A and B are shown apart, each in its own frame.
Chain A
Amino acid sequence: MVRRLFLAIAAILATAPAAAEPQVDPLKSPVWSDLAKKVFGEAPYVFDDAVKVSVPHVVENQAQAPIIADARGLADVKRLIVFSDLNPIQLAIALEPQAAAPFVGMRLKVEQSTPIRAAALTADGTWHVGGVYLEAAGGGCTSPAAARSVANWWDTLGEAQGRVWPAADGYSRVRFRIRHPMDTGLAKDNTPAYFIESIDLKSESGSVLATLKTFEPVGEDPTITLLVKLPPNETAISIDGRDNNGQIYRANIPTPRTDATSRQPS
């Protein structure tokens, strides 16, 4: 997945403007200059308040810190990624919003207090970076998954639930959860890395709404919120996920009526 990310960046490089001057990190992260190279390569980036990251004032559970990344202030976002400077595995999620807003809500494992960043790639090949500093107690990435203490976690693996709410601005809010231990491979119990690595959201008619790449830092039982543009009269969104062991997860989330005249209440 990381390889693919690099390739994508390389492809963009060909048409992108020359690399920008090094930027001063508003969060003063000790790793920023190295991390920026890893994430963006030679592609230009700017710190941009249009990309907003929301985190709670107090993290109650460092294995499930709620994060919202919102780049709706930018036009024509091709990709939105969330990463954290001081986590042992930095990249958490990458969204390609084919028919969705550049917006993602998720829960993140946090190993220590760290800048949480969101970066939006716009059509001109520039990354727009926003971020906040998250205060948190440590250990979210190296503690065994809660599933580890449940002998039959396998039986509920991949169970999904979700709901769709219609919104006034033409986007529907969809939230879903897939049961999965999302093992980081870093826990002392020697459990290998085991995580959902891709989730595609499609409309009932088969058009792609959004594609997600997910990585080890996404919290156990991934709970994700997106804003999608549903074609009219659709009754369900399909979720198509796959983990790094090749296990496939499929689910359908029924959608509420979007047009009162099109269908009778059931």
Chain B
Amino acid sequence: MTANKWLVTAGALALSVGLAQPTFADVSIDSIVKDAETADDVVSYGLGPQGQRYSALDKITKDNVDQLVPAWALSLGGEKMRGQQAQPLVKDGVIYFTGSYSRVWAVDAKTGHELWQYDARLPEGILPCCDVINRGAALIGDKVIFGTLDAKLVALDQKTGKVVWTKTIDDFKGGYSYTAAPLIVPSSAHGPLIVTGVSGGEFGIVGRVEARKADNGDLVWTRPTIEGHVGTLNGKDSTMTGTKNETWKGDLWKTGGGATWLGGTYDPDTKLIFIGTGNPGPWNSHMRPGDNKWSCSRIAIDPETGDIKWGFQTTPHDGWDFDGVNEVISFDLDGTKAAATADRNGFFYVLNRENGKFIRGFPFVEKITWATGLDENGRPLYVADNRPGDPKDSKDGKKGASVFAVPSFLGGKNQQQMAYNPGTKLFYVPANEWGMDIHNEPVTYKKGAAYLGAGFTIKPIFDDHIGALKAVDPASGKIVWTVKNRAPLWGGVLTTPGLVFYGTPEGDLKAVDATDGKELWHFNTGSGIVAPPITWEQDGEQFVSVLSGWGGAVPLWGGEVAKTVANLNQGGMLWTFKLPKRVAAN
């Protein structure tokens, strides 16, 4: 592809005389903070830093969405397929997005023609747990910032795709990788910050959140997620996370997990970063008595100092790999500054986002076996028999009693993002109904090796479906409607006035009625969708874009779920849709 670089350059110069080329304008921190209010760009992960994935654009409506047609499609090429999980960004007529194997593209949003591509050269020994995916880039200033599977943070020149700087987040040989979209937040002390986490919770790493200066990538603060570890600010030790040995006995906290692998959201109102933390390590919970804070939690971090303002643990003393990483979405609950999150463990939580206090919680999946409910503080009421048995109680000490637990470790909801519609006041949650056989085994930590101490296999719990798109009312705790899907849902949701867009592993991008879930439109993109759609406006037309490309954790870890996804093929395509001109005009 680089063979004719000179020709390409010369050609571009000649063309620029006759054709309108996309412009490359700097992305200000202000435009990121106010992203939800502007329809002509998408400059944050979640269509606004609060992550609501709501757009007020209403040119595509319930009445005309069935006329939606492809405007163009772009192949990611290179024979490198596997899961495409990224949310594209749009700025001044250019779409920026990432793909599998740590690749980045800039594409003319009107034509779908590629402007530049960057392929990171990855070492042979990378250790991603759940496919070679990436969830997206961030834009700030004149840079495009993304993370790589070998745990590097890379800043590219927005105009050329050339590397401006590279920072090593951590050692990929120790199990670290980076797959989330970096979060850009304002700070008064340090200017715009790039906030990142780490992946590698299955390898005995310690999760942390880091903030770097947006212009040069210099580290400003770090915040470990596991109690006993000390953070840094401006190169010096700052505060300890929690109190050492308070909820972790012994010294397993040193390899305690809590990976911050899904990235976070930012609420400009409370000026807090909300980020989730993954499972504690190892999976075998009998080795680590206590609540194991702050694993399986949501924490609120002050961008000025990196200090934790509040934490809420969804699954204390996790024994089922119920990572607490799922996104926290800020919203207004009848005047209360609330935030909501749909956990892997099957419960939907509504919190006060100013202080983390529990408002209400309820199941958003059909069946939960490991807890009977939540107490008044949101703590699970555990079913003791549904925790995998202690291997020490078995005859040879090698395998504990197996249990069938629901949800499975892939969760009632996983990385696929839900959306909040302020018009319907409903959350749209891409959920999955499945369980697992799970047992515990002894395990010791070894650098770069899986640190689980568990064996497991996933099973469907219904004959006809695993996936279920649910409309959830945060005020009443009711599931307003459900749309079933045979294969597990793994792609995020977008909502607009009246509509909900989401993709399925079967390959369909669908639009349903936001009030009752009735399907209004679908289009087969040719491979499974495991990424969130976006919408934006350009030259008076509303566009919808989504990446298509089957992969991610399900085909790797799916167990008996495999038969629902057996005939799904990999791909790699960015699709963009719009209304034909005659329909849009009516």
| Contact present for A184 and B2 (CB under 8 Å) | yes
Residues of A within 8 A of B120 (CB): 192, 245
Q: Which residue of A lies closest to B102 (CB)?
A: A192
Residues of chain A within 8 A (CB-CB) of B9 are 2-3, 6
Given contacts A151-B124, A244-B163, contact A190 B154 (CB under 8 A): no
Contacts of B121 in A (CB 8 A): 181, 183, 191-194, 245
B-side interface residues, number (CB < 8 Å): 27
- Report Cα–Cα, A245/B104, bound state, in Å: 12
Q: Which residue of A lies closest to B164 (CB)?
A: A246
Q: Report which of B2, B10, B13 forms a contact with A193, defined as CB distance below 8 A.
A: B2
Knowing A88-B3, A184-B2 touch, does A3 contact B10 (C-beta < 8 A)? no
Q: Are A2 and B78 in contact (CB under 8 A)?
A: no
> What does the 1/0 interface line of B50-87 toward A look like (CB < 8 Å)?
00000000000000000000000000001110000000
Question: Which residue in B2, B78, B124, B163 is a CB contact (below 8 Å) of A154?
Answer: B124
**Residue B382 at the A interface, CB < 8 A?**
no
Please state if B163 and A2 are interface contacts (CB–CB under 8 Å). Answer: no
**Could you tell me the distance in whole angstroms from the C-beta of A134 to the nearest C-beta in chain B?**
19
A38:B6 contact, CB within 8 angstroms:
yes
> How many angstroms from the CA of A194 to the CA of B162 in the assembled complex?
12
Name B13's closest neighbour in chain A (CB-CB). Answer: A6
Residue pair A216, B79 in contact (C-beta under 8 Å): no
Residue A90 lies at the interface, judged by CB distance under 8 Å to chain B: yes
- Is the pair B2, A245 in contact by a Cβ cutoff of 8 Å? no
Please state if B2 and A190 are interface contacts (CB–CB under 8 Å).
Answer: no
Which of A151, A185, A245 sits near B1, CB closer than 8 Å?
A185
Question: Cβ of B6 and Cβ of A91 under 8 Å apart?
Answer: yes
- Nearest residue (CB) in A for B122 is A192
**What residue in chain B is nearest A151 (Cβ atoms)?**
B124
- The residue of chain A having its C-beta at the shortest distance from the C-beta of B103 within the complex is A192
Minimum CB–CB distance for B175 against chain A, Å = 15
Check A89 for interface membership: any CB of B closer than 8 A: yes
B112-149 near A? 1/0 per residue, CB < 8 Å: 00000001110111000000000000000000000000
Cα-based distance from A190 to B155 in the complex (angstroms): 23
CB-CB contacts of B145-166 with A at 8 A, as 1s and 0s?
A: 0000000001100001011111
Q: Is the CB of A247 within 8 A of B166?
A: yes
In the assembled complex, A13 has its CB within 8 A of some CB on chain B = no
* A89 and B163 contact, Cβ closer than 8 Å, known pairs A154-B123, A193-B119, A245-B121: no
Contact B154 A245 (CB under 8 A): yes
Interface contact A246-B124, CB-CB below 8 Å: no
Q: Which residue of B lies closest to A184 (CB)?
A: B2
What separation, in Å, do the CA atoms of A153 and B162 have in the docked complex? Answer: 24
A89 and B10 contact, CB distance less than 8 A:
no
**Complex: chain A residue closest to B1, CB-CB:** A185
Within the complex, the shortest CB–CB distance from B125 to chain A, in Å, comes to 7
Query: Is B581 an interface residue when CB atoms closer than 8 A count as contact?
Result: no
Beta-carbon contact of A245 and B125 below 8 Å: no
Residues of B within 8 A of A (CB): 1-3, 5-7, 9-10, 13, 78-80, 103, 119-121, 123-125, 154-155, 160, 162-166
6 additional A-B residue pairs with CB within 8 Å, beyond A152-B125, A192-B103: A38-B7, A39-B6, A154-B124, A185-B1, A193-B1, A246-B164
Can you give 14 A-B contacts (C-beta < 8 A)?
A2-B6, A3-B160, A88-B3, A153-B123, A154-B124, A184-B2, A185-B1, A186-B2, A186-B3, A193-B2, A193-B119, A245-B154, A246-B165, A247-B166
